[in-house]
Amino acid sequence: MPELPDVVVYIEALESRILGQVLERVRLASPFLLRTVEPPLAAVYGKKVCRLRRVGKRIAIGLEDDLWLVLHLMIAGRLHWREPGAKLPRKNAPAAFDFSNGTLVLTEAGSQKRASLHLVHGDDGLRSLDAGGIEVLGSDAGVFSAALTSANHTLKRALTDPHLFSGIGNAYSDEILHRAQLSPVALTQKLAPGQIQRLYDATQAVLTEWIDRLRADAHGAFPEKVTAFREGMAVHGRYGQPCPVCGAKVQRIRYASNETNYCARCQTGGKLLADRALSRLLREDWPRTLEELEALPRLAAPQ
C-alpha cells in the first residue's frame, strides 16, 4: 500500500502536471469506486486544480469552488500519467481523470477492489475523511510520545493506527522499528523514555530518508514503480535474508492477512517471536482489514 513517502512523491508529481490545469471530466469504469453522491461528480467538470494535499494515505485534489477529489489507493491502487484522452485498460482500471494536458489513470490489481474516490466540499469534508493521527514530520517528541502512549497497544499496531499517526503502514513501520531496535510486540505504555525518543528519532529519519530516496529515484518522471517492497529496505519483505546491520536472518510474524518482518538480534535480544501466541497477540491487537481500523471511532487529541 502506498504510504506517506509514496504519497508525498505522488503529490509532487501531480503538482507539476495538474496544478492550474482544468479537469475536463472523470471517466468511471467502476461505479463502486465513487463513495459519495453529494456533491455530484459532474460538479468538478471544467474546474481548475488549485492545490493538492495529503490526508493520511489519501491524495486530495483541490479544485475551484472548494471542491476536493480524494483518492485512497488502498493496497493495490496505483496512478499513471498518460497522454490526453488515453484509453482505459479493459481490466483493472476503475477510473481516468482527463485534464487539459493529460490523463491520470487509476489502476487496481487483484480481485478485491478497495480503492475509493470521494468528492467533498471544504475543510469540513476533508476532515470527515481524516482519522486524526498526528503528522509525525511536523510534530515534536512530546506530541509523538503523547500519541504513542494514549493507549496500550503493540508498537506495530500503534505506528500503523491512522488515529494515532498519519500515513504510516505495514512497510515503513517495519523499517522504523528496525531502525529504533525495538520489538514490534513491545507495548507502548511499557516503554522507557529513552526508547520513546529512539522511536521518535527513527520515525523522523526513516520517513525523511525514503521521501528523499523516492524523489531522487523518480528523476522528475511520474512514479510508476510504487511498491511496498523496496530495494534497500532493511527488513520489510526480506524474510530469510540477512539483516544489513548484523547479518542475522530476517524473521517474520504472520497474522490475519498481514506480516511483520524484524531482526531478532537487533530488535528482540535474539528471541524469535514467530510463534502462535505472539501471532495471536498481534492478530487480536490489529483489526482484520484497513477498513476496520479506519472505521474505528476517531480518538480525542492526546493532552
242-267 pLDDT, tens digit per residue, is 999 999 999 998 876 678 999 999 99
In angstroms, the CA 198 to CA 179 distance is 9
End of a domain among 106, 127, 148? 127
| Per-residue model confidence as pLDDT tens digits over 105-127 | 999 987 778 999 999 999 999 99
95 and 212, same domain (yes or no): no
**What's the predicted TM-score (pTM) here?**
0.89
Average pLDDT for residues 194-212, to the nearest whole number?
Answer: 98
51: domain CATH number is: 3.20.190.10
Q: What is the DSSP string of 27-79?
A: EES-GGGB---SS-GGGGTTEEEEEEEEETTEEEEEEGGGEEEEEE-TTTEEE
225 and 289, same domain (yes or no): yes
152 and 271, same domain (yes or no): yes
Radius of gyration of the chain (CA): 20
140 and 287, same domain (yes or no): yes
In angstroms, the CA 103 to CA 101 distance is 7
Q: How far is CA 178 from CA 27, 72, 73, in A?
A: 42, 27, 26
Contacts of 156 (CB under 8 A, 6+ apart): 173, 177, 184, 185, 260, 282, 285, 286
End of a domain among 127, 154, 177? 127
On the 0-12 / 13-18 / 19+ scale of CB atoms within 10 A, 203 is buried
162 and 256, same domain (yes or no): yes
Mean pLDDT of the chain: 90
End of a domain among 127, 151, 181? 127
208: domain CATH number is: 1.10.8.50
What per-residue confidence (pLDDT) applies to 22? 98
Domain that residue 28 falls in: 4-127
What per-residue confidence (pLDDT) applies to 153? 94
94 and 121, same domain (yes or no): yes
Average pLDDT for residues 260-282, to the nearest whole number?
Answer: 78
Residue 70 within any structural domain of the chain: yes
Cell of 51: 492545490
153 and 282, same domain (yes or no): yes
116 and 255, same domain (yes or no): no
143 and 53, same domain (yes or no): no
Residue 302 within any structural domain of the chain: no
171 and 221, same domain (yes or no): yes
| Position 291 pLDDT exceeds 70 | no
The answer to whether 135 touches 301, Cβ cutoff 8 Å, is no
159 and 83, same domain (yes or no): no
Buried b (16+ CB within 10 A) or exposed e, 147-175: bbbbbebbbbbbbbbbbbbbbbbbbbbbb
Number of domains in the chain: 2
pLDDT tier at 89, thresholds 50, 70, 90:
confident
